[in-house]
Amino acid sequence: MTDFRLVYYSENRIPPERLEAEIEAILGASRRNNGLVGISGALMFNAGFFAQVLEGTQQAIESTFERIQQDRRHGNVQLLDFTSTSTRSFLTWSMAFIGSSEGVAVSLSSIASRSGFDPRNLDGTQLFSRLRDLLSEPG
């Protein structure tokens, strides 16, 4: 079946004192749910923004994104791209995380701290490529 890729960014609404716990909760739910419906992808948190790529069947992505859009932990969700694709770039991750918030324990933090970028300046293809490149760079 043809895979689709969805790319969006959004503004964080989580207060700083709850950020670490809420991001852990988001990743926990994402990895569990995405694994069940065959979604792979990557989530970045940086400078008050989330950016996310979801890969999977159209149906799985639509129902997942429907939930994500209603989540009050972020807002102003901006859909940048939703297209069919013949290749998955995040196949081994039910949800990879790239983060740079203070106190958020992430294995790729050194990469993320170098990556400070504002997703508002990127289109869907650029944002997707950026996340893919960050994950493939050696830490």
| Footprint on residues 100-139 left by ligand FMN (CB under 6 A) | none
- With CB under 6 A as the contact rule, the residue among 29, 47, 79, 91 that binds ligand FMN is 29
Residues 6+ apart with CB under 8 A from 53: 5, 6, 7, 41, 42, 89, 90, 127, 128, 131, 132
> DSSP assignment of 43-95, as one string?
EEEETTEEEEEEEE-HHHHHHHHHHHHT-TTEEEEEEEEEEEES--SSTT-SS
Identify which range of 62-70, 85-93, 108-116, 124-132 contacts ligand FMN by CB under 6 A: 62-70
Q: Does 71 bind ligand FMN (CB under 6 A)?
A: yes
- With CB under 6 A as the contact rule, the residue among 5, 6, 7, 30 that binds ligand FMN is 30
**Residue 17 DSSP class:** G
Q: Does 11 bind ligand FMN (CB under 6 A)?
A: no
Residues that bind ligand FMN (CB under 6 A): 26, 29-30, 33-34, 43, 50, 52, 64, 67-68, 71, 73-74, 95
